[in-house]
Structure 1
């Protein structure tokens, strides 16, 4: 169903990722009362078959729904419950709190990504810049349409591209290892009330510094962007990197 909807809207999933389409399909089905609030979501195998998607895509979509508070993990660790009104009132939650605090993630990103931006300012190629511009345009498009799933994914891709341009394989591997955690941290700002455009403007400043071969500027604007992202995620001023 989700895969078929994505194909109808764009030929394949070029205009909307399979994960975004799956999230929208599940939210619509919940809103229509297919599964009453407070009841258990069907098993993943059943959902994947119903929506005609892979289990991997479904797991990503469920991660989004957990972050937004649409569903909750069951206390026994088996499956998920459709959030009721009281659950939804609590708002978005940080899903990796048992392993890492959101503050720790932003501290790591502050160090790793600012240095990666600095390296990118010294080693970027025309092809690298073209990829960054494409990621930025996807970010702008998602902000215009208020597509929060696409917004977080485009944000992640912009930052991932900068890590790749840095050429430091250890930084790249570290980011890849914790990709799921990083992506969730980039979903958090979009899930809180506020304007989506400040982050777009911050990306523009980072890209401009990399384009003109200004490593110190790229480092500075990335550090500021990460700090602002932490603030938009709900971190207190004393917790910001």
Structure 2
């Protein structure tokens, strides 16, 4: 994964804090990827605060640990506010969890548990890119299990927006593990064929995720 490769370059000192990343054309060539793939990876790293845009707007610089400029950016702001995204998730994903609790297979529950294990592993490693991907995959699996094609299509249509909302920094103490626990509660309710519980725990999880993404209490769904 391009994001992971770039993170490794930062961690092992090939690109140091405060240092500019190579020009995109050179970086894409060295990594043997397309410019489009590189731009998406850089967007994720900027969203989770590992790189920041240069004041000129051309290129990126690796963030320092105490870099106060490394704050979340929301690149879809011209189309949707972060509040609107979490309102959408609150409605769609709570209903999907409810449907998943009504009708699912043992294999699908095991798939959800495997997804949570990937989530735990990323949390332990403090790998925010893998963490965001595992988070997104978990919610996508629940949408699929719901069996509602319209909900599935809506989630797929806005996949890039939803994924980026799940890439926002979660560096407050304990916040990574809070989300893991919230996922576990949702799966427990689904496995117990408890649609009201699954919907409740998903609504609670989305509200807490919105808070961790920076929404004010008055903005939460």
Residue 23 in structure 1 maps to residue 2 in structure 2: no
Contact 1:122 1:213 in 2 (8 A): yes
2:145 maps to which of 143, 157, 165: 165
Give 5+ residue unaligned stretches, structure 1: 1-16
Matched, 1:129 2:109: yes
Per-residue CA deviation, residues 128-187 of structure 1 (Å, 9 max, x unaligned), is 112111101000111111111111110000000000001111111111111111111111
- After superposition, residues 137-216 of structure 1 pair within 5 angstroms as 137-190=117-170, 192-195=171-174, 196-216=176-196
Q: In structure 1, what is the Cα distance between the partners aligned to 2:34 and 2:212?
A: 32
The Cα of 1:75 is off from its aligned counterpart by 6.0
Indicate the structure with greater helix content.
1
Larger RCO (CA under 8 A, 6+ residues apart): 2
- Whether the aligned pair in 2 keeps the contact of 1:143 and 1:151 (CA below 8 Å) is yes
Q: CA-to-partner distance for each residue in 1:201-237, whole Å, 9 max, x for gaps?
A: 0000000000111111000000000000011111110
Deviation at 1:63, TM superposition (A): 1.3
CA–CA distance in 1 between the matches of 2:123 and 2:3? 17
Runs of 5+ unmatched residues, structure 2: none
Instruction: Give the equivalent residue in structure 1 for 2:60.
Output: 81
1:237 matches 2:214: no
TM-score, with normalisation over the residues of structure 2? 0.87
Corresponding residue pairs, total: 216
Q: In the alignment, does 2:52 pair up with 1:71?
A: yes
Aligned-CA RMSD value: 2.4
Confirm or deny: 8 A CA contact 2:2 2:38 kept in the other structure: no
CA contact (8 A) 2:17 2:62 kept: no
The answer (yes or no) to whether the contact 2:100–2:145 under 8 Å persists in 1 is yes
Q: Which residue of 1 aligns with 2:28?
A: 48
Paired residues of 1:132 and 1:158 also in contact (CA < 8 A)? yes
CA distance in 2, matches of 1:207, 1:89: 37
1:97 aligns with 2:97: no
